[in-house]
Structure 1
């Protein structure tokens, strides 16, 4: 029974670590998109702006 508790604990730790990792990746991608959107705005690149904002919107829905 103790081995089962250890295994469950390890699984829960793994899931928690995966959630933290996923959130960190999401945050970094959003920050990069914001920077790229600023660059697209500054350079007047409407196509890039639209593509980047669409991607950002889809990420924010997740």
Structure 2
């Protein structure tokens, strides 16, 4: 799938391609940051035995992963 995407990107205007790649990169970085933040909060909820926060955060994590 990634090869197909890269082949399609070769046909796109170089400026637009760079913009698209930058946007994909930033989206990935933001998503990774959100996941790490939620995982730290989950660890904290486990440490504090806060079941309600744990359940809420695991649902939030699921929405970020998908």
- What range describes the TM-score normalised by the shorter chain of this pair? 0.7 to 0.9
Larger radius of gyration: 1
Stretches of 4+ aligned residues off by more than 6 angstroms: none
The runs of 5 or more residues in structure 1 that have no matched partner are: 1-7
The runs of 5 or more residues in structure 2 that have no matched partner are: 1-12
Q: Count residues in correspondence.
A: 54
Measured in 2, the distance between the counterparts of 1:24 and 1:46 equals 29
* Cα RMSD for the two superposed structures: 0.6
- Deviation, structure 1 residue 60: 1.1
> Greater helix percent: which structure?
1
